[in-house]
Amino acid sequence: MNRKFTNTEPPFPAIKWKSMIFSIVLSIFCAFAFYAFLCVMREAIRYFSVMDKQDIWVLSDTEVRFYNLFFAYLSLIFAQSVCISRWFGSLRKPFEKRNRCKLSVQNNQRFLNFFFLHWFSQLAWSYALFIGILTNGFYVFSLYPKYNFLFILMLIVLFLNTWISLLRACKRKAFKLMFCSAVLISVFAFAFSSIHFVNYQKINKNILDKNISYKYNLQLAEVEVFEENHHRYSYDIHLVRTLYSTKLEDLLIVDESAKLFFGNEELSFLELKNNLLEYKDYEENEAMVLRLNIDKSIRMADVNRLKSAMIDAGIQGVAYSVIPKNRAYDQRYYTDCYSLWHLVRREEYENADLKDFELFSVRYSGDSLQINGRTCPRKDFYSKIKQAVEKQDNYLMLFSVNENMIFGDYIFVLTEYKRAVNAIRNEYAMKNYSAEYAELEVEKAKIVQRKIPLRLIEK
């Protein structure tokens, strides 16, 4: 006798109302518990993303709503699968001849849940590991909103898979049930997604209130050339301290005074000098270089006071934090970009004998940039300064720093000047050593530096 695996109307006995209601209530409870678990795990992954600089993977309110809705749908689809498996498990009799269809439905629900959970957990932890290994990885790769369609497709495929065996068993009768199921799941999903088991906004605030850059909306200067930690002037050979000088802006009131932080402690310039002296005595054998994170809108009067306090404390070098002008990611990703310079007292400049140098001056007054008294557009400054350095073997650049100049303009001049000198050094290195300047050995690099030095005096 030729019997098909599924019949058009298999003799499934009716499910008792008590058993049906109990299964539905149990499934909703399981869905709610699983939804809570997923939300807590998401916040756990975010919490483990916190770094020593008090930065955290921040999700916008839109992202949180989307992920909550995804978790809710996922939990309810699993709950539906558990409910179906329970119903068909109670219907199947041990020695029933035509029970293969019911057994298929039950097994399909069980194994679908198991395999999906295994795959999804592996994917989630791989993403979390990716964020953990890659510093600030959440600024590099984000699933929302660019890849949100993947989550939607995942839910559609999972939902339809729960009905494959039922469609084989019940044929057309299952379509009505599937439609009703989709409507009910959507209603419960939107209800679940409005429930927040963890106050993510409070977590963000507790972490980011300790982050000076985030708290004061620190805007670093954008530059074309910079150094990074893998450079030979790496911070690995220095004792690095972090200073923040920020401009506190409100919606209506603008405080023009700079706030100075050493670590997370707000200090005056005199207090800073005393603290630096203590650190200098403690680390007397170290070449101490401080990293300055300065808002690009700060006036140079405050920056010069900061530099004077550092010089008085015996600090020899400064690394100004910057960000690339042409960047692919959020500015907070670029935590290791800086511009390294030596600190020299102005009095030493004034007492220096400059008669043996070929001088050219640079001045930034208001929005006007001048080279030797001639106005120069910002976009042409690099080429003009490169020409000036190439023409004069024994040159000296005099940079007039007005106290009302903002730091963003100041660091623009410094970095463009360094970019021009580095370009000339590269040309010389390629011509004489057939290699770029950055790739030369230490001794050869020193020869190039003596041939094409960085000579700059601030006045």
Query: Which pLDDT value is given to residue 351?
Result: 65
Is the distance from CB of 140 to CB of 134 less than 8 angstroms?
Answer: yes
Task: Kindly state the tokens that stand for 82.
Answer: 């558990």
357 token code pair? 């140098």
The 3-class secondary structure across 363-386, one letter per residue, is EEECCEEEECCEECCHHHHHHHHH
Ranges of beta strands (E only) in 70-121 are: none
Q: Pick the residue with more confidence: 332 or 377?
A: 377
Say if residues 100 and 11 touch (Cβ distance below 8 Å): no
34-43 pLDDT per residue, tens: 999 999 989 9
Which residue from 328, 326, 336 is spatially nearest to 140, judged by alpha carbons?
328
Please report the pLDDT score of residue 281 as a whole number.
62
CA atoms lying within 13 Å on the CB side of residue 366: 2
The fraction of the chain above a pLDDT of 70, given in percent, is: 79
> Percent of the chain beyond pLDDT 90?
23
The H or E element spanning position 92 is none
Q: Please, are residues 67 and 59 in contact by the beta-carbon 8 Å criterion?
A: yes
Q: What residue type is 432 in one-letter code?
A: N
Report the range out of 120-134, 219-233, 301-315 with the highest average pLDDT.
301-315
d(CA 387, CA 329): 33
**Least confident segment among 79-83, 180-184, 412-416, 429-433:** 79-83
For residue range 285-302, list pLDDT tens digits in order.
Answer: 456 778 888 888 888 888
CA–CA gap between residue 356 and residue 107 (Å, rounded): 91
Q: Where are the beta strands (DSSP E) in 161-238?
A: 221-223
Residues sharing a CB contact under 8 Å with residue 339, sequence separation 6 or more, in sequence order: 223, 225, 226, 227, 319, 320, 322, 411, 414, 415, 418
Cα separation, 422 vs 409, whole angstroms: 20
CA distances from 55 to 27, 65, 78, 193, 244 (A): 39, 22, 35, 26, 15
Say whether pLDDT at 186 is over 90: yes
d(CA 204, CA 198): 11
Q: Are 356 and 390 in contact (CB under 8 A)?
A: no
Alpha-carbon gap, residue 121 to 108, rounded angstroms: 20
Tokens 């000036």 belong to residue: 388
Which amino acid makes up residue 392? Q
pLDDT confidence tier of residue 9, bands split at 50, 70 and 90: very low
Pairing between strand 456-458 and 368-371?
A: unpaired
How far is residue 453 from each of residues 370, 414, 445, 459, measured CA to CA in Å?
Answer: 22, 14, 11, 19
Task: Residue 10: count other Cβ atoms within 10 Å of its Cβ.
Answer: 14
Long-range contacts of 56-62 (CB under 8 A, 24+ apart): 56/203, 56/204, 56/207, 56/208, 57/131, 57/138, 58/204, 58/208, 59/200
| pLDDT at residue number 355 | 76
* Top mean-pLDDT range of 138-152, 215-229, 290-304, 421-435: 421-435
What is the reported pLDDT for 61?
93
Q: What is the pLDDT of residues 221-280, one digit of tens each?
A: 999 988 876 443 333 322 334 566 665 544 334 445 678 888 777 888 888 888 887 776
Who wins on pLDDT, 206 or 286? 206
Whether the pLDDT of residue 25 is over 60: the answer is: yes
Q: Tell me which residue of 386, 23, 417 sits closest to 225, measured CA to CA.
A: 417
pLDDT at 4 over 60: no
> What's the token pair of residue 148?
């949100």
Return all residues near 193 (Cβ < 8 A) that are at least 6 apart: 65, 68, 69, 71, 72
CA nearest to 227, candidates 336, 119, 109: 336
Q: Is 34 helix (H, G, I), strand (E, B) or coil?
A: helix
> What is the pLDDT of the chain when averaged over all its residues?
79
278, 309, 409 from 312: Cα distances, Å = 12, 5, 25
- Record the pTM: 0.76
Domains of the chain: 17-208 (no CATH), 211-343 (3.30.420.270), 353-459 (no CATH)
